[in-house]
Amino acid sequence: MVEIDKSLFGNEFLEMAFDHCIKCSTCKYSYKEFEPCCPSGEKFLFESYWASGRIRTIIGLINGDLEWTEDVLNPIFACTTCGACMDSCNAPHADYIVDMIEALRELAVKHIGPAKNQQFLVSRCEESCNPYGEPNSDNQELKKIYNLSDKAEWVYFIGCTSNYRQQKIRDSTLKFLKKANIDFTLIDEHCCTSPMIRTGQLSIVKDYMNYNAKQIVNTEAKKIITSCAGCYRTLKKDLSRFIGEQEFEIYHIAELIKELLDKKKIKFKSEYNKTVTYHDPCHLGRHMGIYELPREIYKKIPGLNLVEMKRNRNFAWCCGAGGGVKIGFPEWSIEISHERLKEAKEINANVISSTCPFCKTNLNDANINFGFNFEILDLTEIIDQIEIEFLE
């Protein structure tokens, strides 16, 4: 049994996991499907780029058998943390593999720093509260446009990508919430810190989370809704880990739409006559276990023909944007998305839809870069294009 830095690998079950990886290679392929599932391993083809190799790297670095040099950076950081390895692994440590990789990255940041360009995620946040380095929006203008009060039952946590890159997702969500008579407001957001957590750069995480929590408390809201899979995962799973349990209920917008449909408070009236395939975001799917709920919404839209890509649900191929790969390895990130577009083309889809602004960004970048002709739309954008009857 290796000596483990308990400040990073403190969970006893997590410690036990180091002795249970036998390099059986199930992390390399979708379980029982035998389809490639790991973008990193498939790209670089060395054992150190698959989950089993990263676990061995952890052991070697902690034991002192490996040195902290620039040579270990790429194997550590060239991973989208999509979680496909967790789903395929059949060992006792399966559910902890991404946690282990993120902890390894924290160690790497302390010893030699993050991968190339990933440090900008923190420096930009320190300057403008978002990883894009855009002038911070306190959302006051949006509150005026949508006539939102300072106090409400819900807070719509927009997220950096929707607020600074994919505003159509933000705006379609805002319009839906208003039409559905949801009592909500907005706050002056700092980044949810998902990009920093995924890349092991934790210096600002607690401060930002505490700031956001305080802003939400000031609204007296008890429910938080977001249209970003990354924000959803971070708010629902990571927030309590860093700043303790909060009294907020966390919803993805898809969960609210499904609830309103189930309670017959909304009804889709017009048709959307296109063939749509749904891309499962890793943070909503493998990280949080939400697969069928978005599909049930698409199936209720009149005229919409939902078709499935070869790899779907827990076997879905990652879009390539997560885990710091989009900023750290931008060209490879687009290559990963290219694989997804080829699958969509095989089933003659017109529209690739998802429930994550980061997925939309990377899928669209690949769509343009490789000359495909898909519409890349978020679920909320499709909802915004159809007539909805809102019932009491």
If you write DSSP's letter for every residue of 173-240 in order, what string do you get?
Answer: HHHHHHHTT--EE---PPP--HHHHHTT--TTHHHHHHHHHHHHHHHT--EEEES-HHHHHIIIIIHH
Residues linked to residue 390 through DSSP beta bridges, in sequence order: 266
Angle 97-111/51-63 helices, nearest 10 degrees?
40
Number of compact structural domains in the chain: 3
- The sign of the CA dihedral 355, 360, 363, 368 is positive
User: Does 126 lie in the same domain as 254?
Assistant: yes
Strand 388-390 to 266-268 pairing:
antiparallel
Which residue from 113, 92, 17 is spatially nearest to 58, judged by alpha carbons?
17
Alpha-carbon distances, residue 199 vs 2, 76, 121, 220, 245 (angstroms): 24, 10, 9, 32, 23
pLDDT band, residue 16 (cuts 50/70/90): low
Residue-wise pLDDT tens digits, 143-166: 999 999 999 999 999 999 999 999
Which residue from 297, 319, 318 is spatially nearest to 382, judged by alpha carbons?
297
DSSP 318: P
More confident of the two residues 233 and 65: 233
Structural domain contains residue 283 = yes
Whether the per-residue pLDDT at 9 is higher than 60: the answer is no
Alpha-carbon distances, residue 211 vs 64, 122, 129, 242 (angstroms): 39, 16, 11, 13
Question: Residue type at 35?
Answer: E
Domain that residue 44 falls in: 12-111
Residue-wise pLDDT tens digits, 22-35: 888 889 998 667 88
* Contact between residue 363 and residue 280 where contact means Cβ atoms under 8 Å apart: no
Q: Is 378 exposed, middle or buried (0-12, 13-18, 19+ CB in 10 A)?
A: buried
User: Does 273 lie in the same domain as 240?
Assistant: no
Q: First CA to last CA across the chain, in angstroms?
A: 61
User: CATH number, domain at 346?
Assistant: 3.40.50.1860
Structural domain contains residue 2 = no
User: Does 131 lie in the same domain as 103?
Assistant: no
User: Does 287 lie in the same domain as 252?
Assistant: no
Domain boundary, last residue among 84, 111, 138: 111
User: Does 366 lie in the same domain as 297?
Assistant: yes
* Contact between residue 224 and residue 249 where contact means Cβ atoms under 8 Å apart: yes
* Contact between residue 227 and residue 169 where contact means Cβ atoms under 8 Å apart: yes
Please state, in angstroms and rounded to a whole number, the distance separating the CA atoms of residues 42 and 378: 28
Task: Calculate the CA 82 to chain-centre distance.
Answer: 8
- The structure tokens listed for 73 are 């950076």
> What is the per-residue burial (b if ≥16 Cβ within 10 Å, else e) of 228-251?
bbbbbbbbbebbeeebeebebebb
On average, the pLDDT of the chain sits at 93
Whether the per-residue pLDDT at 168 is higher than 80: the answer is yes
- In this structure, what is the dihedral angle of CA atoms 7, 13, 19, 20, given to the nearest 10 degrees? -140
pLDDT in the model for residue 18: 66
Structural domain contains residue 376 = yes
Domain boundary, last residue among 259, 274, 295: 259
**Mean pLDDT in residue range 328-334:** 97
Give SS3 for 260: helix
User: Does 275 lie in the same domain as 248?
Assistant: no
pLDDT in the model for residue 21: 82
Residue-wise pLDDT tens digits, 353-384: 999 999 999 999 999 999 999 999 999 999 99
**Mean pLDDT in residue range 294-320:** 97
Domain boundary, last residue among 209, 244, 259: 259
Structural domain contains residue 3 = no
Task: Calculate the CA 110 to chain-centre distance.
Answer: 24
